[in-house]
Structure 1
Amino acid sequence: MVDQPAWFKSSYSDPEGANCLEVTFSPTLRIRDSKAAPTGPELHVSAPAWAAFVAAVQPGA
């Protein structure tokens, strides 16, 4: 049996549940649309790529 990653909703998701992103770290960052889960597509991003993205979108970057 393969352990399933623990998904959590983004803090920026719609509180009504209409527009929700779910995220997990397993071992890469994985992002999916909660409405398509668990069989929908996922975006997989490495830790260095995610760090570079976050640095690039910071105010003043």
Structure 2
Amino acid sequence: MEAIEQTLKCPVCMDFFTDPVLLPCGHNFCRTCIHTVWNMDGSGDGLAGPLFCPECQIFLP
């Protein structure tokens, strides 16, 4: 049961997904969490630089 719960939890906030998004690499995140990670580049909009998956570190197209 614990393994199933882990698949339903965001790797950023470690809570159950809220408004989940699936990245092209196959990893899922809460919409708010992935936007927060992408905004950490300091530019303010978070979408100016290359976007990447925090799980596998692959840059997204």
Higher strand proportion (structure 1 or 2): 1
Larger radius of gyration: 1
TM over 0.5: no
* TM-score using structure 2 length: 0.31
Higher helix proportion (structure 1 or 2): 2
